Amino acid sequence: MSQRPLSPHLQIWRWGPHMLVSILHRATGDGMALVGLAVLVWWLGAIAGGPEAYETFSGVMTSPLGWVVMVGLSWAFFTHMMSGLRHFVLDIGAGYELNTNRFWSMASPIIAILLTCAFWALILLR
């Protein structure tokens, strides 16, 4: 009979980049759903509320805290997207080789950061 545990626990697993990407995928999805929805509802309410309400929204979103929120949301989007693409490739049966899996586990958050920087460079340098 095998001595392997029937139900793995966190103490048994060795932490690796694939676990980080999985956790980030869940966290960024939740963050976009909660924070993104709050910003969207506030924006729509500000549009419906008139010029003063929209000026308040615009003032907050162009403050340093607003920039952090917007950059954070875009980073969450690109991180979630890259992780989702990685999982899509895994779902079709490719990328399970250890070196390939490790490479894309490390590459997806790095690509997400580069995409976030490129996105904001495109917006700010127009």
pLDDT of residue 69: 97
CATH fit for domain 18-124, picks 1.20.1300.10, 3.40.50.720, 2.20.25.90, 2.60.40.10: 1.20.1300.10
pLDDT of residue 40: 97
**Burial state string for 32-55 with b = 16 or more CB within 10 A and e = fewer than 16:** beeeeeebeebeeebeeeeeeeee
Point out the annotated binding site: 80
In one-letter notation, the amino acid at residue 108 is S
Query: Would you call 76 exposed, middle or buried from its count of C-beta atoms within 10 A (0-12, 13-18, 19+)?
Result: buried
In one-letter notation, the amino acid at residue 38 is A
pLDDT of residue 14: 74
Q: Where are the domains of the chain?
A: 18-124
Per-residue pLDDT of the chain (126 residues; tens, 9 = 90+): 567 656 666 666 777 898 899 999 999 999 999 999 999 999 999 999 999 999 999 999 999 999 999 999 999 999 999 999 999 999 999 988 989 999 999 999 999 999 999 999 999 999
Ramachandran sector of residue 14 (left: φ over 0; alpha: ψ -120 to 50; beta: rest): beta
Q: In angstroms, rounded to a whole number, what is the distance separating the alpha carbons of residues 116 and 93?
A: 28
pTM of the model: 0.85
Point out the annotated binding site for heme: 80
pLDDT of residue 23: 93
